[in-house]
Amino acid sequence: MKTESESLFEKAKKLIPGGVNSPVRAFRSVGGSPFFTKRANGCHLTTVDGQELIDYVCTWGPAIHGHNHPRIREAISNALEQGTSFGTPGPAEVEMAELITEVVPSVEKVRMCNSGTEATMSCIRLARGYTGKSKIIKFAGCYHGHVDSLLVKAGSGALTLGNPDSAGVPDSLARETIVLPYNDEQAVEDALLENKDEIAAIIIEPFPANCGLILPKPGYLEKLRSLCTANKVLLIFDEVMTGFRLGIGGVQERTGVTPDLTAMGKIIGGGLPVGALGGKTEIMDYLAPLGPVYQAGTLSGNPLAMAAGIESLRILKEENPYESMEKMGTMLAVGIIEIAKSHGIALQVPQAGSMLCFYFSESQVDNFDQAIACKHERFNTIFQKLLSSGVYLPPSSYETCFLSSQHNEEIISLTLEKIKSAFSSL
């Protein structure tokens, strides 16, 4: 007998490429057939087959307050009364801009768009327009959405499916992208020297979280900042994932390193499709209609998305959940490490705040090459065991696990019990 999820997936595969609207959802790397979700509440998903799962994906980051938060639901519902899209400026856009510029240290002006991909794409165009230079430096394993010139040695689904270099990206564009290893200062110095006066920007996930979770070596981000300043290169932080998650002001607040431009998304949509780019006024004013760099969007600043995002940010400001999420994240990471140790299994669990990942490796992972060298089949075994016992980890060892403010001590303890029995089967 097929489950409801299996039947839906069969049908979906006939209608949608791979049966999914975003590749990692297809479970290709962990194997098996994906479940379909009927509803989501707090830290739980309920599948169409009636299984309840503790969710460590949190819709890939946005659900920092857990799913279906009553205040966000109410905000959307109130906005809905006024209409779904205006195509003119609306008051919520001003409030959103006010909130973002208030909490993100480097952002003086902000432009809303509809996804993280749009945000990084526009950051790149703006950096090129502003500097008059065309080459970009990115880092292996960093994922910046599916932007042509950034889909070179990318992380996330591209990496999970074994094609970090996508077909369909012209060589001429890929040649404008220089890919360097993360955490290697010398490589950046060398590239800047070799491409003198040609580099428009360095784009980076300051804490790369799309090939597991890699943490910067002490001084690394600071060094990038000073190299960029010295070479008149813009530093772009892609904080689509880390923004509003590793502190309300993201990594830039956590580390004190200030980028020139920031790409944002995920949490600022409160579960609706949103992205944003922001930075210094002088640079942001290069965007149309003031400046020569074109950027636009029919649904940008959509009133429903603004309502959801604003409420999400308001709750973050009021509740300041970061310390307690950090505590829960540490409890989970430490617990997992202990379990692995007691089974004699080599495992690294890098953790920052409410994010962590599993690296089945003897030693600390500092870059992309080390991340891909981990024993990923071990993760897949754990993933399947946990899924059947009611815990949903991201369906790829290259994705980060997310906690929400609803993942309390009781939920973490329960999760650790289940992880313990999953490890017994390794």
Ligand X SMILES: *Cc1c(COP(=O)(O)O)cnc(C)c1O
317 noted as active-site residue = no
Give min distance, CB of 184 to ligand X, in A.
20
Which CB, 115 or 354, lies closer to ligand X? 115
Q: What is the largest CA-CA distance in the chain?
A: 65
Which CB, 59 or 408, lies closer to ligand X? 59
Binding of residue 205 to ligand X (CB under 6 A) = yes
133 noted as active-site residue = no
Contacts of 60 (CB under 8 A, 6+ apart): 266, 394, 399, 402
Piece of the chain touching ligand X by CB under 6 A; list 48-56, 111-119, 184-192, 309-317? 111-119
Binding of residue 115 to ligand X (CB under 6 A) = yes
Which CB, 144 or 385, lies closer to ligand X? 144
Give min distance, CB of 22 to ligand X, in A.
7
Three-state SS for 51?
coil
Give min distance, CB of 55 to ligand X, in A.
17
The catalytically annotated residue of 55, 238, 260, 366 is 238
Binding of residue 265 to ligand X (CB under 6 A) = yes
The catalytically annotated residue of 55, 130, 133, 143 is 143
109 noted as active-site residue = no
With contact defined as beta carbons under 8 Å apart, do 262 and 252 qualify?
yes
Token digits for 91? 């008051």
Q: Which of 129, 141, 145, 335 binds ligand X (CB under 6 A)?
A: 145
Angle between helices 376-388 and 409-423 (to 10 degrees): 120
C-alpha of 334 from chain center: 23
Q: Which of 47, 131, 210, 367 binds ligand X (CB under 6 A)?
A: 210
The catalytically annotated residue of 266, 322, 359, 385 is 266
Residues 226-255 within binding reach of ligand X (CB under 6 A): 238, 240-241
The backbone region for 154, taken as left when phi is positive above 0, alpha when psi lies in -120 to 50, beta otherwise, is beta
Which CB, 205 or 253, lies closer to ligand X? 205
How big is the site for ligand X, counted in residues (CB under 6 A)?
A: 14
Strands 401-402 and 355-356: antiparallel
Task: Return d(Cα 416, Cα 382) in angstroms, integer.
Answer: 12
Which CB, 144 or 376, lies closer to ligand X? 144
Question: How many C-alpha atoms does 398 have within 13 Å on its Cβ side?
Answer: 29
With contact defined as beta carbons under 8 Å apart, do 366 and 141 qualify?
no
Q: Which of 5, 106, 120, 295 binds ligand X (CB under 6 A)?
A: 120
Binding of residue 271 to ligand X (CB under 6 A) = no
With contact defined as beta carbons under 8 Å apart, do 53 and 45 qualify?
yes
Q: Which of 143, 220, 244, 359 binds ligand X (CB under 6 A)?
A: 143
Residue type, 414: L
Task: Return d(Cα 364, Cα 353) in angstroms, integer.
Answer: 18
Binding of residue 160 to ligand X (CB under 6 A) = no
H-only helix segments in 53-115: 70-80, 91-103
Binding of residue 116 to ligand X (CB under 6 A) = yes
User: Which residues sit at the interface with ligand X, rule CB under 6 A?
Assistant: 115-117, 120, 143-145, 205, 210, 238, 240-241, 265, 275
> Catalytic amino acids?
143, 238, 266
